[in-house]
Amino acid sequence: MSASDRRDTQRIPPGGTPGYTVATVRSGWRVSDSFTLTAAVENVFDEDYRIHGSGVNEPGVNFIFGAELRF
């Protein structure tokens, strides 16, 4: 890391960005040939983490629902 990055402790903690593990669960169900439902839960355990150098923590638990209709 550059000297200016090492001094920027607001964005990058001393010792560097800590590692993290984020669990995501996704599923889908094809109801028929033309209709599909999907659902996902991102960051299942509500981990507090940030991508290296971003200075912004990523969002907590996120729920996603979708439907697709083809005709």
Q: Which helix (H) or strand (E) holds 67?
A: strand 62-69
Do 40 and 64 form a contact (C-beta atoms < 8 A)? yes
pTM: 0.70
Q: How far apart are CA 62 and CA 15, in angstroms?
A: 29
Give the pLDDT score at 19: 84
12-67 pLDDT per residue, tens: 777 777 888 999 999 999 999 999 999 999 999 998 888 877 778 888 999 999 99
Helix, strand, coil in percent for the chain, rounding step 5: 5, 35, 60
d(CA 43, CA 2): 31
Distance CA 41, CA 24 (A): 6
